[in-house]
Every structure is written in structure tokens, then in C-alpha cells.
Amino acid sequence: MTRFAIGDVQGCYQELRALVAQLKFSPDRDRLWFVGDLVNRGPDSLESLRFVRALADNALVVLGNHDLHLLAVAFGSRRRRSADTLDEVLAAPDRDALLEWLLTRPLAHFDGSGDLMVHAGLVPQWTVGTTVSLAREVESALRSDPRALFDNMYGDEPRRWSDDLAGTERLRFVINVMTRMRVCTSDGQIDLKIKGKPPPRHSPLRPWFELENRRSREARIIFGHWSALGFVQREGVVGLDSGCVWGGALTAFDLDADRPPLAVACAGYQSPDSD
């Protein structure tokens, strides 16, 4: 079995189909790992969802911030934004089946192979075990009372991790870290505003994967969400958001072989400034 990890699709269905064809994907031997953000901003969120859902057990998907936003809009907890491209999903005849499938995707995936997949990142205090446990807390809330979770999901507080966090603040922090964060400090304070290039070296805010005290170094972390970085491969991390929807490329990486990534170029559907 070959495991290919694929970056943020964001509704770029034609590029996804082209990339999967380039991989020579075979359902009897391969598995596709998706780092989240299957939907939104690109033109074909509905077909992207249908395609990945139809892969069944051959697809592993973690939730990204755009996937959660779609669910929050569908449950009436959030209004659509001007740059959203979710109307086709919300009006589709198979809407309920697609949303139910998305609702049951995890926030983090670790299969014992040594690879941990999350959409955005981790604060340095979290081990792999802590990350999986916290993700399950959110997943349980999603399945038991999704409307309550979505009603309280939005917001940038709290900004620092503590084991004492509880209730909606704890769930919000976990979601913000795993689906929105790019930089943080060594003591676990996050900044959710930074989305371009990393801060200057003298800043206490660093890309989360550069912090020397990061306790998740026992695993290789597969992530997306940071298109300004493009493809990232260094010891212990693989970043796959190469900005397809912004005019970059959709990238796939073979998790089981030492070879260059494969990518399909995209003409771009929106400006990065439209967020």
C-alpha cells in the first residue's frame, strides 16, 4: 500500500482529478490522506466532496477551518461570507449525506506509522498522544451536539494553552490550533492573525514546527493551511498547502518513498486578499 498525502483542495475539483490521475492511484493498493479544507474558495466544492467521499476507506480526511465553516453555515451558526463558494453544497440533493460524512471526519489522524496529520499545527506542549486525545474531545462534541459546538467555535480566545482549560474555551482553543494556527510562542501562546510569511527571527512568534521544545517530535507531522510557505519538507514535518486556489498548485507527497512531490498547476480562482 502506498499512502499519498494531498494538500488543501478548496474546491479545486479539476486539479484534484488531474493529480489523482497523475498519481496512478489504485483503490486496491493506495490510500489518499487529505490535510483538510476540501471545500470553499474554489469553483467545485460539491464535486470535490462527492469525489473524496466516494473513495470510502481509501481516503483519510482531517477537518480544516473551511470544512468546519461549511458545517457551521449548514447548522445555522454562521452566515456565508462574500468569498464563500458553498452554495452548491448547501443546495445539493445529497447535501445531508455529504454533511453527515464531513461531520464524522476527525480533527487529527495518527495510525501508528509514525505520521500524524492535522490541518494547521500543534502547540509545543502537546505530544502525539495529547493531540489525538484532544482531537477526540472535539470529535465527540461534533457528534453529540454540533450546533452547540458551532455556536461557540468562533473567536480568538483563549490565546495560550493550559491543562486547566475546560468547556467551550478548551474546545475552541483545540480547534483554533489544529485548524487555524500558523505561529506560536514556546510557551504555547498562539497568534491567529499571521497568515503570510513567518515573522522575523527576533520575534517570539515562530512557525509552530520550528520550536525546539515541541513535544510532538516523536512523529512526522503532515499539515496544510499555510499557502505562503508553499511545499515544506524538513525533518519531522511535511507541509502541503501550495496554494492551489490562489494560483499555485495542488501537491501530493508519497509518505512511503523518498521521491519528489507531484503537483498540478492551477490558474487561480481567488486572490489571497479575499479572506
Query: What is the SS3 assignment for 19?
Result: helix
Residues in the chain: 275
Scored b (16 or more CB within 10 A) or e, 106-121 reads bbbbbeeeebbbbbbb
Query: What is the SS3 assignment for 206?
Result: strand
Cβ contact 130:162 at 8 Å? no
Q: For the chain, which domains are there?
A: 2-270 (3.60.21.10)
Side chain identity, residue 226 = W
Phi-psi region of 158 (alpha: psi -120 to 50; beta: other; left: phi over 0): beta
The pLDDT value recorded for residue 1 is 80
Per-residue pLDDT of the chain (275 residues; tens, 9 = 90+): 899 999 999 999 999 999 999 999 999 999 999 999 999 999 999 999 999 999 999 999 999 999 999 999 999 999 999 899 999 999 999 999 999 999 999 999 998 889 999 999 999 999 999 999 999 999 999 999 999 999 999 999 999 999 999 999 999 999 999 999 999 999 999 999 998 999 998 999 999 999 999 999 999 999 999 999 999 999 999 999 999 999 999 999 999 999 999 999 998 887 765 54
The pLDDT value recorded for residue 275 is 45
Cβ contact 27:58 at 8 Å? yes
Cβ contact 170:154 at 8 Å? no
Strand ordering across the sheet containing 206-207: 190-191, 183-184, 206-207
pTM > 0.85: yes or no: yes
156 vs 134: CA distance, rounded Å: 18
